[in-house]
Every structure is written in C-alpha cells, then in structure tokens.
Amino acid sequence: MEKEESLNQEDLTKNHSDESPKVEEQNDESQIKQNVEKKKEISPEDKINELEDKLTRTFAEMENQRRRFEKEKDDAFDYGGFSFAKEALNLIDNLERSKLILESDEALKDTEALKKTIEHLDIIKKDLISIFTKNNIKPIDSLNKKLDPNLHQAMMEIEDDQKEPGTIVQEVQKGFMIKDRLLRPSLVGVSKKKDQKVEENKDNSDK
C-alpha cells in the first residue's frame, strides 16, 4: 500500500511538472495575441496623426537648426574681425602715448616742430577713428556720463563737488564698441564728494 501511495504522489508531481511548461506557453501565446489585438486596435487615422506629429517635430527641429546656422553665419560675418579690431586699437593708444611724450619734452615745448608733429598725429588718429567707424567700430562717449559697468571701468575716484558722485570726469583710455558688442571698456575716473572731515580740519586750521 505504501508503495502504491508513493507511486501515485510521484505521478501527480510528474503530471504537475509536465503541465507547468504548457501553462507558461499558453500565457506567452495569450500575451502575444493581446499585443497583436492592441496593434489592430490602432485606427488608420491614429497612425496618420502619429506620423503627422513626428513630421511636425522633425520640421521644427530642422528649422531650429537652420536658425542656429544662420545666426552663427551672421555672427561670423559681423564679428569675425573682433580680435583684429581689438588689436588695432593699440594704434590709437600708441598715438596718444607718443603725443603725451612729445608734449612733456622740455626741449620741444613751444616749438614749431612740436606743433606740426602734434597736428599730424591728430590727423592720423582722426583717420583711424574714421576707418573704424566705417567698419561699425565706434568710440564710447564717456565724459560727463554716469558710470555704466557694462561700458566703463572705474580706475580712480576724483573729488568733485560740482558733479554728482559716480559721474565720469576723466577718461584714461577710450573704450570702443563693435556694432552692439563691447570691444573694450573705457578706463575712467569718476567723481566723488570731498571728504567733510578733511574740509573741517582745513577750516579749523585756517582759524
């Protein structure tokens, strides 16, 4: 009896193990059928709408890319000479330095030679600025303007009660723009109110 019972249990176990792959296969088949049915459920109109959406996105991406290329091309055309223009400003700086050196030379002061040399330097500087202006490189107007960090760089403060604090009263080095882009900032001196304590001490000493 015991042998028969053990045999029956083995048969049941075997039958169960034999059936489990079949059940899995059936599940796989049912899943495939469901997927196929879902695909069949998509109507032609839905497919068309899906394709139209993909096309619209593709065209939008192509248009954005075209605009980027156009902007890069325009920037290359407008600002391609940025580095060259910045280096060329050294010519104006050197003319100004030469002018200051000649004017401070005691041996040349009040001479006709100095006067003519300064006149020639001014003409050269004027011509250079004219060439720059034709190429959209323009000097920044700074004197008597309020300090603008986007255009000016303050190098010093100068006591001046006649001007509002922060007003540009001295231009150390002229700044330039190339179209709407800063080529280099103006180096300037700005006004500040006189120190009241210093003034009070001076008044007391006068008394």
Per-residue model confidence as pLDDT tens for the chain (207 residues): 444 445 445 554 545 445 455 545 555 666 666 655 555 566 777 777 787 888 788 878 887 877 777 776 666 556 667 788 888 888 888 988 898 898 888 888 888 988 999 999 999 989 988 988 888 889 999 999 999 999 999 999 999 888 889 999 999 999 999 888 899 999 999 998 877 554 455 555 555
pLDDT at 2: 46
pLDDT at 78: 60
Q: What is the spatial distance between Cα 153 and Cα 180, in angstroms, rounded to a whole number?
A: 18
Domain count, the chain: 3
User: Which H helix or E strand runs over 74?
Assistant: helix 44-79
Are 140 and 187 spatial neighbours (Cβ–Cβ below 8 Å)?
A: no
Instruction: For 28-54, give the DSSP string.
Output: HHHHHHHHHHHHHHS-HHHHHHHHHHH
SS3 157: strand
pLDDT at 72: 65
Instruction: List Cα–Cα distances, 161 to 51, 76, 192, in angstroms.
Output: 73, 47, 7
Do 60 and 92 belong to one domain?
Answer: no
Total-model pTM: 0.55
Do 167 and 155 belong to one domain?
Answer: yes
Q: Tell me which residue range forms the domain holding 198.
A: 139-207
SS3 154: strand
Do 95 and 151 belong to one domain?
Answer: no
b/e code 37-62 from CB counts within 10 Å (16+ = b): eeeeeeeeeeeeeeeeeeeeeeeeee
Residue type, 107: A
Domain termination residue (choose one: 118, 135, 152)? 135
Q: Judge whether 146 lies within some domain.
A: yes
Q: What is the spatial distance between Cα 78 and Cα 181, in angstroms, rounded to a whole number?
A: 10
